[in-house]
Amino acid sequence: MSYLLFLLASIGNKPASKVKFILVSPHSPLPTPHSPLPTPKSIVNFF
């Protein structure tokens, strides 16, 4: 879960990174011990 907080913090500070993360996530999601990243739609709705 902490990785999400880290991503949200860095994404919030860099709008460009936010777009990159949304575009990249469906093709190459980051490996996590819990579950895959949410879909781009979920990310957009969250923000």
Enumerate residue ranges in the chain where pLDDT < 70: 1-47
pLDDT of residue 16: 54
Per the structure, how many domains does the chain have? 1
Global pTM?
Answer: 0.18
pLDDT of residue 47: 47
pLDDT of residue 8: 61
Judge whether 21 and 11 are in contact, CB under 8 Å: yes
Range(s) of the domain holding residue 34: 2-46
pLDDT of residue 27: 44
pLDDT of residue 44: 53
28-44 burial code (b ≥16 CB/10 A, e <16): eeeeeeeeebeeeeebe
